[in-house]
Amino acid sequence: MVEHVREGFCNKIDTAAVFIDIAKAFDRVWIDGLLYKMHKLRITRKLILLLQSYLKGRSFVVRVDKVLSTPRTTEAGVVQGSRLGPHCFNIFINDICQMPDTELCLFADDTAILSSGKTAGATMKSLNNHLTELGKWLIKWKIKINSDKCQAVYFSRKHNLPPPPKIYRRAIPWRDETKYLGITLDKKLAFQLHIEKIKNDLKRARAQLKPLLGKNSKLSLDTRMLLYKSLLRPLISYACPVWMAAANHHIKGLERVQNVTIRRITRMPWFIRNEDIRKDLELPTLKEFYKKIAEKFYRKIDSSTNTAIVNIP
């Protein structure tokens, strides 16, 4: 998604995106519809019958204190927390409608539709056409969406915005930012809001770990650094290949937060330079660390045998 928007910016083309919120996605899977789609995919009859016996005829009760309700039969949904649940859901939405003039981004129940064009009119026409077809598909397969929670972002450096997109004849108002797969995407794709959020997340987690990392901690330096690398640094490196191209001053802000954290862990005096502390700990700068993660990530893509991943433009 980010690559698509960035490519548009390079070509001076704006991108409109709608983020669909599916209501209780795993709980609302139409079981008969799922079994039908498995049949259409030519999955073996024995496996379909096995899955049918697994999904149908289930029941549940509700406990309030010591009182149990009468049993109720589960009419829809896949078993959450199971290994089969995500696979069943992926099969169920595998035939979601796609259009030639738009891009569909799909990860489980996190769905986004992107449209780019030389003019705002062409962009919105393609997007609204896709939303219309999507609405028909959702109704056909008994999938409900939270219209109030659906969001739209017009990725552009311009101030004038076209009329908002619609689904079920209901407008989805434009927002300056949205959150998708844990990343805050702003309309200029600067990632300033996302970086501010993860800085605050690190500070909050650091405060919670103060008894283990602070000056009164009895843990060894090696153990404290292990806690930092396993619990704190992942907070500021999650999905970094996506946003590490943010402006240098944003990355430097993260670097400062790391420096403060490392100083508190090592209890070094103020006159010792950050560079010397990192050198003694053999700790790379965040920019170096992000680059290493990105290189590993793209190497995995190049060596992947999954054609859907290899063919990503």
Q: What is the pLDDT of residue 147?
A: 84
Q: Write the DSSP symbol of residue 22.
A: B
Entry pTM: 0.86
Q: List, in sequence order, every residue forming a beta bridge with 67; answer none if it has no partner.
A: 64
Residue 195 CA to residue 250 CA, distance in Å, equals 7
* Whether the Cβ atoms of residue 133 and residue 139 lie closer than 8 Å to each other: no
Q: Exposed, middle or buried by CB within 10 Å (0-12, 13-18, 19+), for 248?
A: exposed
108 against 95, higher pLDDT: 95
- Domain boundaries, given as residue ranges, for the chain: 1-26+102-186, 31-91, 192-303
**What CATH class does 1-26+102-186 carry?**
alpha beta
**What is the average pLDDT across 92-115?**
92
Flag whether pLDDT at 52 surpasses 70.
yes
Q: Which whole number is the average pLDDT over 136-152?
A: 92
102 forms beta bridges with 115
Q: What tens digit of pLDDT does each residue of 2-45 get?
A: 988 999 999 999 999 999 999 888 888 999 999 999 999 999 99
Above pLDDT 70, what percent of the chain? 98
147 Cβ contact partners less than 8 Å away, ≥ 6 residues apart: 167, 168, 170, 172
What is the distance between the terminal CA atoms of the chain, rounded to a whole angstrom? 11
Residues in a beta bridge with 155: 15
The residues, ordered by sequence, that sit 6+ positions from 216 with a Cβ below 8 Å of its Cβ are none
CA distance linking residue 71 with residue 132, whole number of Å: 39
Tell me how far apart the alpha carbons of residues 26 and 38 are, in angstroms, rounded to a whole number. Answer: 17
